[in-house]
């Protein structure tokens, strides 16, 4: 019983992708080209933004988004304590300083009420992370950003297709970054990512920075990076994008079924859905006490589970230099000890869910 089964996704798209790969291999068109441009246009239409720039991975996408938003060395970037480390890493790589704030207990998303106290005269940007397939409450964060003259940059790596009353994740800030890491809801056959924006100047700068700071060959306007999207990823992403709504719908059905089955088990807190939101369930995260024991027992029963994430980013050894201490993020820290991600993927069957729930029931006692 795997945590994530990608083989079924690959099988569904093989007939569409393999002939394109054969043509790309024969023509040696490996960088850029028609497939990449077609994917960028299709993803822009899907998200509802004017510009999509396909890039090498989600971390580079975030770095490019920060740079295009004007984040510079020494600037502070506000983000939730509970995220994948890449949100912070991308800021640190350009010499900016991640500033962490706590999350709300219902959704484990950045807590808008905690943001204002973290703003200083060095703050440049706020990064809502659309974690676990949810949409962060940007309608409450945008007024704060506007009041303080800050840029809103979305980390949409876990929420391809998610919507809230404010709109679709990835189209809600000045710039958004996403990841097509294979395990994401829209996954490539390797590393890939994208930056989304309605701002034509930012889009041009991102495209330039991602290609060695160059728009005309061997004319280098900026110190950039090599962060282009490999051409062979485009047909995979195009084929999966065509199925994304259906696959997200299957995840929603599985999440509803988990909620129903788990309602009868005392001691399991199921994830909440914000009214009006369409979550895409990148992860299905329950909370239990004695999480490590429960997790070990599920492991022994052959059930693949995960923790997202066992250590909150400000308390990671990598960020010891920032001087954060235990106790500063009470909600995120308490959650980190209790969260458990159950198997969740579009092709998860009802029978597999029954097995997971029975094993969880057994472990909880």
**Which residues of this chain interact with ligand PLP, rule CB under 6 A?**
57-59, 83-84, 86-87, 129, 155, 157-158, 179, 181, 191, 193
Output DSSP code: residue 189.
Answer: S
Q: How far apart are CA 196 and CA 179, in angstroms?
A: 11
Q: CB of 184: closest distance to ligand PLP in angstroms? A: 6
Q: CB of 157: closest distance to ligand PLP in angstroms? A: 3
Bond from prior residue into 309 cis (ω within 30 degrees of 0): yes
Q: CB of 188: closest distance to ligand PLP in angstroms? A: 9
Which of 36/268 has CB closer to ligand PLP? 36
Q: Which residues pair with 126 in a beta bridge?
A: 78, 152
Q: How many CB atoms lie within 10 A of CB 306?
A: 17
Q: How many CB atoms lie within 10 A of CB 211?
A: 20
Chain position carrying tokens 């404010």: 166
Residue 55's φ and ψ, nearest 5 degrees, are -135, -175
Q: CB of 180: closest distance to ligand PLP in angstroms? A: 7
Q: CB of 138: closest distance to ligand PLP in angstroms? A: 15
Considering only CA atoms, which of 76, 26, 84 is closest in space to residue 59? 84
- Residue nearest to ligand PLP according to CB distances in the complex: 58
Which of 107/262 has CB closer to ligand PLP? 107
Q: CB of 54: closest distance to ligand PLP in angstroms? A: 12
Which of 94/355 has CB closer to ligand PLP? 94
Strand-strand pairing, 214-216 and 219-220: antiparallel
Task: Annotate 92-107 with DSSP letters as a single string.
Answer: HHTT-EEEEE-B-TTT
Q: How far apart are CA 97 and CA 88, in angstroms?
A: 8
Q: CB of 162: closest distance to ligand PLP in angstroms? A: 12
Q: How far apart are CA 36 and CA 25, in angstroms?
A: 15
Q: CB of 260: closest distance to ligand PLP in angstroms? A: 27
Considering only CA atoms, which of 120, 121, 122, 137 is closest in space to residue 80? 137
Helical ranges in 149-263 per DSSP H = 200-209, 233-262
Q: How many CB atoms lie within 10 A of CB 269?
A: 15
Strand-strand pairing, 193-197 and 214-216: unpaired
């Amino acid at each position: 019983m795997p945590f994530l089964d990608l083989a079924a996704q690959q099988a569904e798209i093989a007939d569409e992708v393999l002939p394109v790969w054969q043509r790309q291999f024969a023509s040696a068109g490996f960088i850029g080209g028609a497939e990449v441009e077609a994917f960028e246009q299709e993803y822009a239409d899907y998200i509802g933004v004017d510009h999509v720039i396909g890039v090498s991975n989600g971390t580079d996408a975030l770095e490019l988004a920060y740079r295009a938003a004007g984040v510079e060395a020494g600037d502070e970037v506000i983000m939730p304590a509970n995220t994948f480390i890449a949100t912070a890493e991308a800021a640190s790589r350009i010499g900016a300083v991640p500033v962490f704030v706590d999350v709300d207990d219902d959704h484990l998303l950045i807590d808008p009420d905690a943001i204002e106290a973290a703003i200083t005269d060095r703050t440049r940007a706020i990064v809502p992370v659309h974690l676990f397939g949810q949409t962060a409450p940007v309608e409450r964060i945008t007024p704060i950003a506007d009041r303080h003259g800050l840029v809103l940059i979305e980390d949409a790596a876990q929420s391809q297709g998610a919507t809230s009353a404010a709109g679709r994740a990835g189209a809600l800030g000045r710039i958004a970054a996403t990841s097509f890491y294979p395990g994401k809801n829209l996954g490539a056959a390797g590393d890939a990512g994208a930056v989304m924006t309605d701002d034509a100047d930012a889009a041009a700068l991102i495209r330039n920075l991602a290609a060695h700071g160059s728009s005309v060959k061997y004319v280098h306007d900026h110190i950039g990076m090599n962060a282009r999207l490999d051409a062979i990823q485009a047909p995979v992403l195009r084929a999966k994008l065509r199925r994304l709504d259906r696959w997200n719908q299957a995840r929603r059905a599985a999440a509803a079924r988990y909620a129903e089955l788990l309602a009868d088990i005392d001691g399991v807190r199921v994830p909440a859905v914000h009214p009006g939101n369409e979550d895409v369930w990148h992860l299905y995260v329950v909370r239990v006490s004695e999480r490590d024991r429960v997790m070990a027992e599920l492991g022994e029963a052959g059930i693949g589970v995960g923790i997202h994430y066992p250590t909150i980013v400000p308390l990671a050894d990598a960020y010891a230099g920032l001087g954060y201490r235990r106790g500063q993020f009470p909600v995120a820290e308490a959650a980190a000890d209790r969260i458990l991600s159950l198997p969740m993927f579009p092709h998860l069957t009802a029978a597999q869910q029954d097995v997971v729930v029975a094993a969880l029931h057994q472990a909880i006692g």
